[in-house]
């Protein structure tokens, strides 16, 4: 059980596509849910990508900002979630993989100034009280502005980085700034470029915890709503995402244990279950 934040940098790292792959691959025990919260101040990529603009602004962060002004944020939260889960065999929804869509216009981010901290409290409560996991997509800027409070309250923060020269040069400054804000961070690497994980780790001076393959065709299913090929869930991208979920949960549990020694045994239990 964890609250995990994903952050990006320039160089088209693919934070949202990565987050969706993790959401759909996350191992869930009966009764548990996985919630992906799209908290990118630049706007939702899922509404216009995977969901192809079919929902408009009926769901998402903008509506939560209105609910917060009315003192109804907690009650409104679950009504804003979209179900992205389905059983491949029965085609029926299990409502265990849920999305909180982001804003539809970056200009709406200004109205969320007082909402980010309250959302962080909600995410922690969901994890603690219901045993659900929460994945926060902060996009390229969300970890550094007012929404950065969500990174501060997460169990672990991962910077999504492609192992290209352009992305690594951009990531250096971002990683240092993020470390100053939240403490230790880690890298989730998309293997597009020539540099091995060990070299990326040496350059950025933070651990590369997991690696996803560079798979544009499969990624477009998640980023653009392209037609899903047969056996998509068994593709190299989704297989790697399943492996990554275990590694991310382990990292989050160990970081929580370091920051909260009183929770050591609980964290160790999380690591054991993730194996």
DSSP 47-81: TTTTTTTSSTTSSSHHHHHHHHHTT-HHHHHGGG-
- Find out whether 1 and 131 touch, Cβ atoms under 8 Å: yes
Query: Tens digit of pLDDT for each residue in 24-61?
Result: 999 888 888 999 999 999 988 898 888 877 776 788 88
Tell me, what's the pLDDT at 220?
94
Q: How far apart are CA 9 and CA 175, in angstroms?
A: 9
Is the separation of the CB atoms in 237 and 215 below 8 Å? yes
Could you tell me the pLDDT band of residue 68, with boundaries at 50, 70 and 90? confident
Cα–chain center distance at 92? 25
**How many Å apart are CA 171 and CA 71, to the nearest integer?**
38
User: Which tokens in the block code for residue 9?
Assistant: 């940098």
Cα separation, 22 vs 4, whole angstroms: 11
Contact 69, 76 (CB under 8 A): no
The predicted structure's pLDDT at residue 90 = 36
Helix (H) or strand (E) run with residue 160 in it: strand 156-162
Q: Has residue 84 got a pLDDT over 70?
A: yes
- Upper half-sphere CA count for residue 8 (Cβ side, 13 Å): 24
Q: Give pLDDT, residue 56.
A: 67
Measured at the CA of 272, the angle between CA 268 and CA 199, to 5 degrees, comes to 85
* pLDDT tens, residue by residue, 134-173: 999 999 989 988 999 999 999 999 999 999 999 999 999 9
Report CA Rg, the chain.
17
User: pTM of the entire structure?
Assistant: 0.89
Per-residue pLDDT, averaged over 191-209, amounts to 97
Q: Average per-residue pLDDT in the chain?
A: 87
- Helix (H), strand (E) at residue 100: strand 97-100
CATH number, domain 3-274: 3.40.50.300
Spans of all domains in the chain: 3-274
**Rounded percentage of the chain residues whose pLDDT exceeds 70:** 91
């Amino acid at each position: 059980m964890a609250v995990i934040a994903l952050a990006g940098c320039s160089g088209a790292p693919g934070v949202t596509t990565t987050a969706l792959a993790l959401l759909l691959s996350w191992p869930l025990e009966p009764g548990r849910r996985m919630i992906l919260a799209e908290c990118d101040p630049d706007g939702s990529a899922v509404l216009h990508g995977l969901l192809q603009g079919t929902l408009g602004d009926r769901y998402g962060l903008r509506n939560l900002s209105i609910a917060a002004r009315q003192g109804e944020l907690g009650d409104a939260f679950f009504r804003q979630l979209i179900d992205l889960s389905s059983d491949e065999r029965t085609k029926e929804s299990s409502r265990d993989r849920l999305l909180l869509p982001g804003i539809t216009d970056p200009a709406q981010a200004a109205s969320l100034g007082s909402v980010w901290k309250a959302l962080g409290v909600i995410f922690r409560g969901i994890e603690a009280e219901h045993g659900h996991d929460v994945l926060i997509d902060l996009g390229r800027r969300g970890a550094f502005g007012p929404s950065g409070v969500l990174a501060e309250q997460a169990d672990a923060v991962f910077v999504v980085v492609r192992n290209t020269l352009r992305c690594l040069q951009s990531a250096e400054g971002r990683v240092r700034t993020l470390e100053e804000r939240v403490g230790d961070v880690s890298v989730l690497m998309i293997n597009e470029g020539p540099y091995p994980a060990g070299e990326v780790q040496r350059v950025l001076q933070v651990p590369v915890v997991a690696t996803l393959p560079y798979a544009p065709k499969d990624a477009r299913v998640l980023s653009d709503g392209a037609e899903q090929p047969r056996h998509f869930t068994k593709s190299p991208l989704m297989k790697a995402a399943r492996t990554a979920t275990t590694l991310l949960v382990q990292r989050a549990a160990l970081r929580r244990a370091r920051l909260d020694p009183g929770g050591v045994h609980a964290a160790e239990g999380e690591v054991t279950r993730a194996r």
